[in-house]
Amino acid sequence: MTRDNKRNQVFKQTMNVQYIIDKLQLKLFLKILSVFLLFISMPIQSQTVSNKHEVVTEITIQSTPAKVWNMLTDFANYPNWHPYLKKIEGKPAKGTQIKVTYKKTDLQDGTFSAYILDNEPNRFLSWGGSVGFIFRAKHYYRIESIGNDSVKLIQGEYWRGIFGGMYGKKIYEDTTRKFELMNKKLKDILENKSTTREKKKYIPFDVINNPSFNFQSDSHSSEIYRENTMFG
């Protein structure tokens, strides 16, 4: 066998080995790819996200989209139930500026202004603002009907821009906790799981305006309250 023939034979053997290796690698790659595609095609059980760029939480509520929407857009009623937004001044109309007073710490409140960015009745509400490419934030509620008088409420917020991640890094853990607390509170109210004391939020105006009514002398004053229609 000539030297050239030997070289050709060695080359062919090398190519055959390389071909087998390539084929095995391709099979492995295809197998991994099929597992990945199967994984991403599975129904998402939870969309919870919590990082320095975005927080997304969700909860299932036995209620209707309309009742959830009424709770979220009744800004005047927020002080009566919301665990950390103490007051929202303004209307939930798209393009409207609002002023939000929130519980910053147990001893201190904070405020910020934002604009209503989206208002799709019974579906989507959001507010936020931006400073060009420097900073942009958006807080939103998405309501999804899942049948049997149940809805999925998705509450989220994201921070974008040059300083978005820096800002989000400071608050995302606390924000996640607050969102989950608010979701649970809303669920309890709409599913009538709140305690009687929590529901005693209002004294009817006709009672207050009655000259004979006295908060201190009326033995039943602590039992006088009006159920908000959205609790029904």
Q: What is the pLDDT of residue 3?
A: 63
| Dist CA 68 CA 119 (whole Å) | 14
* 153 vs 57: CA distance, rounded Å: 8
Q: Which fold has domain 49-194?
A: Alpha-D-Glucose-1,6-Bisphosphate; Chain A, domain 4 (3.30.530)
Query: For the chain, what are the domain ranges?
Result: 1-42, 49-194, 199-232
- Positions of E strands within 35-149: 49-50, 54-61, 85-89, 97-103, 109-120, 124-131, 135-147
pTM above 0.75, yes or no: no
Q: What is the mean pLDDT of each run of 10 residues along the chain (232 residues)?
A: 61 62 68 54 56 95 97 97 96 97 89 97 97 94 93 96 94 95 96 57 45 45 36 36
Q: In degrees rounded to 5, what are phi and psi of residue 115?
A: -120, 145
pLDDT at 41: 40
